[in-house]
Structure 1
Amino acid sequence: MLRLVLLTSLAALVLGTDTFSRDDFPPDFVFGAASSAYQVEGAANLDGRTPSIWDTFAHAGNMHGASGDIACDGYHKYKEDVQLMKDTGLEAYRFSISWSRLIPNGRGAVNQKGLQYYNNLINELISHGIQPHVTLHHTDLPQALEDEYGGWVSQKIVKDFTAYANVCFRNFGDRVSYWTTMNEANVFVLGGYDIGFLPPQRCSPPYGDNCSTGNSSTEPYMAAHHILLAHASATRLYRKRYQDMQHGVIGLNVFSYWFVPLTNNTEDKIATQRANDFYLGWFVNPLVFGDYPQTLKKIVGSRLPSFTFAESSQVKGSFDFIGVNHYVTMYVKDNPSSVNTEDRDAVADMAVQLTSIRNDTSTFEYAIVPWGLQGILEYIKQVYGNPPVYVHENGQRTRRNSTLEDWPRVKYLHGYIGGLLDAVRNGSNTRGYFTWSFLDLFEMLDGYESSYGLYFVDLDDPDLKRQPKLSAHWYSNFLKGKNISSDGYIELQKNISAVSTNFQ
Structure 2
Amino acid sequence: MMKKNRELLILVIVTLVLLLNLVLGVHSAEKYTRHDFPNDFVFGSGTSAYQWEGAADEDGRAPSVWDTYAHDGYVHGGQNGDVACDGYHKYKVNRNDGRGPVNPKALEFYNNLINELISNGIQPHVTLHNFDFPQALEDEYGGWISRKIIRDFTNYADVCFREFGDRVSYWITINEPNVFSIGGYDQGNGPPHHCSPPFCINKSKRGNSTTEPYLAVHHILLAHSSAVRLYRTTYKEKQNGFVGISVYSFGIFPNTPTENDILASQRARDFLIGWIMEPLLLGDYPTSMKKIAGARIPTFTNRESKLVKGSYDFIGLIHYTNANMADNSVVLENDLRDFSADMAVFMYTPDLYANAEYPVEPWGLIEELNHFKLNYGNPPIFIYENGQRTASNASLQDVSRVNYLKAYIGATLDALRNGSNLKGYIAWSFIDLFELLDGYDSSFGLYYVDQNDPELKRYPKLSAKWYSWFLKGGRSSVEAIELEKDPSHVSNGHFFD
Q: TM-score, normalised by structure 2?
A: 0.92
Please say if 1:331 is aligned against 2:324: yes
Alpha-carbon contact 1:232-1:315 (below 8 Å) kept: yes
Amino acid in the other structure paired with 1:202: H
- Structure 1 332/47 Cα, relative in aligned 2: closer, same or farther at 3 Å? same
Q: What amino acid does structure 2 have at the position aligned with 1:339?
A: L
Distance 2:34 2:484 in 1: 17
Aligned to 1:119: 111
Please identify, of 487-496 and 144-153, the stretch whose mean Cα deviation from structure 2 is larger. Answer: 487-496
Deviation at 1:12? 1.4
CA deviation map 1:109-150 (0-9, x unaligned): 100011111111111101111011100001111000000000
Query: The residue matched to 2:238 in structure 1 has which SS?
Result: helix
Q: 1:145 aligns with which of 121, 137, 158?
A: 137
CA drift at 1:205? 1.1
1:343 aligns to what?
A: 336
Match of 1:83 in 2: none
Q: Counterpart of 1:197 in 2: which secondary structure?
A: coil
**Aligned-pair Cα RMSD in Å:** 2.0
Is the alpha carbon distance of 1:72 and 1:491 closer, same or farther for their aligned partners in structure 2, counting shifts above 3 Å?
closer
In 2, the alpha carbon distance for the partners of 1:357 and 1:385 equals 30
> Are the counterparts in 2 of residues 455 and 469 from structure 1 also a CA contact under 8 Å?
yes
| AA partner of residue 470 (structure 2) | F
Query: Could you tell me how far 1:13 is from its partner in structure 2?
Result: 2.0
1:322 aligned partner, one-letter code: I
> What is the Cα deviation at residue 23 of structure 1?
0.5
Give the Å deviation of 1:482. 0.6
Kindly state the Cα deviation for residue 102 of structure 1 after the two structures are TM-superposed: 3.5
Q: Which amino acid aligns with 2:299?
A: S
* Deviation digits for residues 389-421 of structure 1 (CA, Å, limit 9, x no counterpart): 010000111000152111110110011001110
Q: For 1:473, what is the secondary structure of its paired residue? A: helix
1:57 to 49, 61, 69: 69
Tell whether the 8 Å contact from 1:474 to 1:492 is kept in structure 2 after alignment.
Answer: no
1:71 correspondence with 2:84 = yes
After superposition, residues 203-282 of structure 1 pair within 5 angstroms as 203-209=195-201, 210-282=203-275
Structure 2: gaps (5+ residues) = 1-6, 492-497
1:385 to 377, 381, 385: 377
Question: Structure 2: how far apart are the matches of 1:478 and 1:217?
Answer: 47
Q: Which residue of 2 aligns with 1:48?
A: 60
Deviation, 1:336, is 1.5
The 1-side partners of 2:397 and 2:56 are apart by 32
Match for 2:357 among 353, 358, 365? 365
SS at match of 1:9: helix
Quick check: 1:48–1:113 contact (8 Å CA) kept in 2?
no
Q: Distance in 1 between matches of 2:194 and 2:425?
A: 33
TM-superposition CA deviations, 1:285-337 (whole Å, max 9, x none): 10011100001011110000000000000000000011111011011111112
How far apart in 2 are the matches of 1:365 and 1:128? 33
Structure 1 gaps, min length 5: 80-97, 500-504
SS at match of 1:344: coil
Alignment of 1:102-117 (within 5 A): 102-104=95-97, 106-117=98-109
What are the Cα deviations for residues 199-253 of structure 1, in whole angstroms up to 9, with x where unaligned? Answer: 0000111111321310000000000100000000000000000011101100011
Correspondence 1:426 to 2:412: no
Amino acid at match of 1:150: G
Partner of 1:297: 290
Contact 1:192 1:199 in 2 (8 A): yes
2:3 matched residue in structure 1: none
**Whole-angstrom CA distance in 1 between matches of 2:489 and 2:43:** 27
Partners in 1 of 2:400 and 2:103 — Cα distance? 42
Mapping 1:84-103, distance limit 5 Å: 101-103=94-96
Distance 2:359 2:112 in 1: 39
Question: What secondary structure, in the 3-state scheme, does the structure 1 residue paired with 2:124 have?
Answer: strand
Deviations 1:163-182 (A, max 9, x none): 00000000000000010000
Q: Is the 8 A contact 1:48 1:114 kept in 2?
A: no
SS in 2 for 1:250: strand
Q: Is the 8 A contact 1:6 1:375 kept in 2?
A: no
CA contact (8 A) 1:103 1:164 kept: no
- Write the distance in 2 (CA, Å) between the matches of 1:249 and 1:3: 38
Q: 1:33 to 1:212 in 2, by over 3 A?
A: same
Pick aligned residue for 1:159 from 151, 163, 178: 151
Counterpart amino acid of 2:323?
Answer: M
Quote how far apart the aligned CAs of 1:6 are: 6.2
Normalised by the length of structure 1, the TM-score is 0.91
**Is the CA contact (8 Å cut-off) linking 2:466 and 2:483 kept in structure 1?**
no
Which residue pairs with 2:36 in the alignment? 24
1:207 & 1:493 partners in 2: Cα distance? 51
Q: Could you list the per-position Cα deviations for residues 45-96 of structure 1 after superposition, in whole angstroms to 9, with x for gaps in the alignment? A: 11111011001000111112111111001122239xxxxxxxxxxxxxxxxx
Letter in structure 1 aligned against 2:17: T
State the shift of 1:103 in Å: 3.2
